[in-house]
Amino acid sequence: MLRLQKLTKTYKTGDQALKAIDLEVPKGQVLALIGPSGAGKSTMIRCINRLVEPTSGAVILENTDLTKLGPGALRRARREMGMIFQEYALVERLTVMENVLSGRLGYVGFWRSFLRRYPQADVDEAFRLLDRVGLLHMADKRADELSGGQRQRVGICRALIQNPKLLLVDEPTASLDPKTSRQIMRLITELCRERGLAAIINIHDVALAQMFVPRIVGLRFGEIVFDGVPAALTAEK
C-alpha cells in the first residue's frame, strides 16, 4: 500500500539524510524504523507526508505518487495518513475532546476546524476512541492537565479520528518512562491490528521495537542496513 522508490533527501546544508531509499509496506503492516540519531528516520517519515519535501524519488500511496500532488490533492492525501509526535503537539488550552476533534480535518485544516460545530458522528467517534484508550473520564479536562502518557493517548485518538490508512509515528515514547512507553507501544500496535492500519514507527529504543512489531527496518547514514524480523536483528548484533 506504501512504496518508497529511490527516495532521496539532501538538505540545503548538504546533509544527505536519505540516499535512494526503496521500501515497501503492505496493507496493515506495522514496522519499526530504528537507527542512531541522525540516521534519517524523522526525515523519512516527514518526506512521506511531505512535511519535508523530498529531493527526488517517489512516495506511492495506493497507486498515487504523493511527490507529484498539488496543494489540494496533497491535503486530501494527508487525510489518509495519521501522524503521532514525540511531543504530542496538543493545543494546551483546549480540552481533550477538542484536541481529538481537531484531528478530523487533518493538520492543514487545523484552525478552520474550530470555527464550526462538529457533526454528531465525529463527536461520537471521539468518545469511542477516548473510551478505547481509557480516557473517557478526561474528555473535558484541558490538555495541560494531563500526564505524558495521557497526552500521547490523546495524540493517538487525534491521529485515528480521521480514519487514516497509514500511521506515521515519530518517537512516540521518547518523552515517557519505560512502563508508560510499553503501554503506549502496546496501544498503538493493538489499534493498528484492530483497524487494519499500516504504520511506520520511528523509535530509537530497539528493545521496545522488538517487543511489539513484526518487522524492523534499520537506517544508518540515510541507507537501509537491516530489514527483517526482530529475532534476526538480535542474531546479527
CB atoms within 10 A of CB 222: 22
Work out how close the CB of 103 gets to ligand ADP at its nearest, in angstroms, rounded to a whole number. Answer: 7
Q: If binding is defined by CB under 6 A, does position 173 make contact with ligand ADP?
A: no
Nearer to ligand ADP, 28 or 75 (CB): 75
Task: Say which residue the cell 512516495 belongs to.
Answer: 59
Nearer to ligand ADP, 40 or 149 (CB): 40
- Site for ligand ADP (CB under 6 A): which residue of 17, 48, 61, 188? 17
Q: If binding is defined by CB under 6 A, does position 89 make contact with ligand ADP?
A: yes
DSSP letter string, the chain? -EEEEEEEEE-TTS-EEEEEEEEEE-TT-EEEEE-STTSSHHHHHHHHTTSS--SEEEEEETTEEGGG--HHHHHHHHTTEEEE-TT----TTSBHHHHHHHGGGTGGGTTGGGGSPPPHHHHHHHHHHHHHTT-GGGTTSBGGGS-HHHHHHHHHHHHHTT--SEEEEE-TTTTS-HHHHHHHHHHHHHHHHHHT-EEEEE-S-HHHHHHH-SEEEEEETTEEEEEE-HHHHHHH-
Q: If binding is defined by CB under 6 A, does position 211 make contact with ligand ADP?
A: no
Q: If binding is defined by CB under 6 A, does position 41 make contact with ligand ADP?
A: yes
Which stretch, 23-31, 35-43, 57-65, 136-144, contacts ligand ADP (CB under 6 A)?
35-43
- Site for ligand ADP (CB under 6 A): which residue of 7, 39, 126, 216? 39
How many angstroms separate the CA atoms of 122 and 15, rounded? 42
Nearer to ligand ADP, 162 or 181 (CB): 162
- Site for ligand ADP (CB under 6 A): which residue of 5, 55, 107, 127? 107
Q: If binding is defined by CB under 6 A, does position 175 make contact with ligand ADP?
A: no
Q: If binding is defined by CB under 6 A, does position 81 make contact with ligand ADP?
A: no
Q: If binding is defined by CB under 6 A, does position 92 make contact with ligand ADP?
A: no
Nearer to ligand ADP, 39 or 100 (CB): 39
Positions in the binding site for ligand ADP (CB under 6 A): 11, 13, 15, 17, 35, 37-43, 51, 85, 89, 107, 110
